[in-house]
Chains A and B, each alone.
Chain A
Amino acid sequence: MIVEFISRAILLSIPLLYGATGEILTEKSGHLNLGIPGIMYGGAIGGVIGAFLYENACGNAAENMNPILTILIPLLTSILFSVLMGLIYSFMTVTLRANQNVTGLALTTFGIGLGNFFGGSLVKLVQSDLPSIALTKTSKIFKAELPFAKDLGWFGEIFLSHDFLAYAAIAIALIATFILNRTRVGLNLRAVGENPATADAAGINVTAYKYIATCIGSAVAGLGGLQYVMAYADGVWSNNAFGDRGWMAIALVIFALWKPSMAILGAFLFGALCNANNYVQGLGTETQELFKMLPYVVTLIVLIITSLRKKREHQPPESLGLPYFREER
Chain B
Amino acid sequence: MSQKSKKHHEPFIHIVKRDELAPAKAWGIRIGAIVLGVLLIGLISSILTGEGFFEVYEIMFRGVFGRLFEGKTNMLWKFLQDTAILLCLGLAVAPAFKMKFWNCGAEGQALIGGLAGMFCMIQFGGKLPEFFLVPLVIAVSIIAGAIWGVIPAIFKAKWNTNETLFTLMMNYMATQLIAYYVYIVGGGSNVINPVSTGALPVIGNLQYLTNILIVALLTVAVYVYLKYSKQGYEIAVVGESQNTARYIGINVKKVVLRTMMLSGAICGVAGMLLVAGTDHSINTNTVGGQGFTAIMVAWLGKFNPAIMTLMAGLIIFLRTGAAKVADLNFLNSSFADISVGVVILLLVGCEFFIQYSVRLRHGKKGV
Q: Do A and B come together as binding partners?
A: yes
A92 to B342, CA, bound (A): 12
- B159, A110: Cβ atoms closer than 8 Å: no
User: What 0/1 readout, one digit per residue, does chain B (270-302) give for beta carbons within 8 Å of chain A?
Assistant: 000000000000000000010011011001000
Per-position binary interface string of chain A over residues 80-113, scored 1 when its CB falls under 8 Å from any chain B CB and 0 otherwise? 0000000010011001111101110111111111
- Compute how far the CA of A121 lies from the CA of B45 in the bound complex, rounded to whole angstroms: 13
Closest chain B CB from A265 CB (angstroms): 19
B244, CB-defined interface residue at 8 Å: no
Q: Could you tell me if A251 and B334 are in contact, using CB atoms closer than 8 angstroms?
A: no
Q: Specify which chain A residues have a CB less than 8 angstroms from the CB of B170 in the assembled complex.
A: 300
Contact status B352-A96, CB under 8 Å: yes
State how many angstroms separate the Cβ of A191 from the closest Cβ of chain B: 21
Interface string of B336-364 (1 = CB under 8 A from A): 11111110110011011001100000000
B172 adjacent to A102 (CB under 8 Å): no
Name B332's contact: one of A101, A110, A239, A307 (CB within 8 Å): A239
- Set A118, A303, A328: member contacting B162, Cβ < 8 A: A303
Which A residue sits closest to B299, measured CB to CB?
A102
If A109-B292, A308-B159 touch, whether A296 touches B344 (CB-CB below 8 Å) is no
Pick from B164, B184, B341, B349: contact of A110, CB under 8 Å = B341
In the complex, whether A140 has a CB less than 8 A from a CB of chain B is no
Are the CB atoms of A106 and B296 closer together than 8 Å? yes
For residue A224, CB closer than 8 A to chain B, the reply is: no
Asked if A303 and B161 sit within 8 Å, CB to CB, the answer is yes
Q: Which residues of A contact B338 (CB under 8 A)?
A: 110, 113-114, 117
Min Cβ gap A298→B in Å is: 10
| A231: interface (CB < 8 Å) | no
Assuming the contacts A300-B166, A327-B17, asked whether A109 and B344 have C-beta atoms less than 8 A apart, the reply is: yes
Whether the pair A112, B162 counts as a contact (CB closer than 8 A) is no
Does residue B250 face the partner (Cβ distance < 8 Å to A)? no
How long is the Cα–Cα vector from A321 to B344 in the complex, in angstroms?
A: 19
Q: Chain A contacts of B161 at CB under 8 A?
A: 303-304, 307
Q: Which of A271-321 contact B (CB under 8 A)?
A: 285-287, 289-290, 292-293, 296-297, 299-300, 303-304, 307-308, 316, 321
Within 8 A of A (CB), among B307-349: 326, 330-332, 334-342, 344-345, 348-349
Give A222 to B113 CA distance when docked, in angstroms. Answer: 35
For chain A, give the interface size range: 35 or more
- Bound-complex Cα distance A292 to B284 (A): 14
| A114–B337 alpha-carbon span in the complex (Å) | 8
Please tell me if A250 contacts chain B, counting CB pairs below 8 Å.
Answer: yes
When chains A and B are docked, how far (Å) is the Cα of A198 from the Cα of B348? 28
> Which residue of chain B is the closest to A286 with respect to CB atoms?
B183
Complex CA gap A95/B13 in Å reads 12
Residues of chain A within 8 A (CB-CB) of B352 are 95-98
Query: How distant is B209 from chain A, measured CB to nearest CB, in Å?
Result: 29
For residue A244, CB closer than 8 A to chain B, the reply is: yes
A116 at the interface (CB under 8 A from B): yes
Which residues in B have their C-beta under 8 angstroms from that of A110? 337-338, 340-342, 345
Q: What CA separation (Å) do A36 and B164 show in the bound complex?
A: 14
Bound CA span A138–B335, Å: 27
Q: Which of B118-126, B130-138, B173-181 makes up part of the contact surface?
A: B173-181
- Mask, A114-126, CB within 8 Å of B = 1, is 1111111100110
Say if the beta carbon of A154 comes within 8 Å of chain B. Answer: no
Taking the complex as formed, is A14 at the interface, i.e. its CB lies under 8 A from any CB of chain B?
no
Contact partner of B341 (CB less than 8 A), chosen from A96, A98, A107, is A107
Instruction: Name the CB-closest residue of A to B292.
Output: A105
A251→B168 contact, CB < 8 A? yes
B277 smallest CB distance to A (angstroms): 25
Given A107-B341, A110-B342, A101-B164 contact (CB < 8 Å): yes
A192 vs B2: C-alpha distance when bound (angstroms): 31
Q: A120-B331, A289-B180 are in contact. Are A101 and B102 (CB under 8 A)?
A: yes
CB of B5 within 8 A of chain A? no
Query: B160 on the interface (CB 8 Å rule)?
Result: yes
Q: Is the CB–CB distance between A113 and B296 below 8 Å?
A: no
- Say if the beta carbon of B225 comes within 8 Å of chain A: no
How far, in angstroms, from A103 to B352 measured CA to CA in the complex?
A: 13
Roughly how many angstroms separate A115 CA and B166 CA in the complex, as a whole number?
Answer: 27
Task: Report the minimum CB–CB distance from B14 to chain A (whole Å).
Answer: 10
B345 near A106: Cβ-Cβ < 8 Å: yes
Cβ-defined contact, B331 with A125, below 8 A:
yes
Q: Is B48 an interface residue (CB 8 A)?
A: yes
Cβ of B169 within 8 Å of any chain A Cβ, yes or no, is yes
A285 to B184, CA, bound (A): 9
Chain B residues within 8 Å of A103, by CB = 345, 348
Which residue from chain B places its CB closest to the CB of A124 in the assembled complex?
Answer: B330
Residues of B within 8 A of A102 (CB): 295-296, 299, 344, 348
- Note all chain A residues with C-beta closer than 8 A to B16: 327
**Which residues from 203 to 259 on chain A have a C-beta closer than 8 Å to any C-beta of chain B?**
239, 244, 247, 250-251, 254
A116 touches B334 (CB 8 A): yes
Question: Is the Cβ of A254 less than 8 Å from the Cβ of B165?
Answer: yes
When distances are taken between beta carbons in the complex, the residues of chain B under 8 Å from A307 are 155, 159-162
Whole-angstrom distance between the Cβ of B282 and the nearest chain A Cβ: 14
Name the CB-closest residue of A to B341.
Answer: A110
Q: Which residues of A contact B166 (CB under 8 A)?
A: 300, 303
Q: B71 within 8 Å of A by Cβ?
A: no
Give B256-279 interface residues, CB cut-off 8 Å to A. Answer: none
Q: Which residue of A lies closest to B16 (CB)?
A: A327
Residues of A participating in the B interface, judged by any CB pair closer than 8 Å: 32, 34, 88, 91-92, 95-99, 101-103, 105-121, 124-125, 239, 244, 247, 250-251, 254, 285-287, 289-290, 292-293, 296-297, 299-300, 303-304, 307-308, 316, 321, 325, 327-328
Could you pull out 19 A-B pairs where Cβ atoms are within 8 angstroms? A34-B164, A92-B345, A98-B349, A98-B351, A103-B348, A105-B295, A109-B341, A113-B336, A120-B334, A124-B331, A250-B168, A251-B168, A285-B183, A286-B184, A293-B172, A293-B177, A299-B169, A300-B169, A307-B159
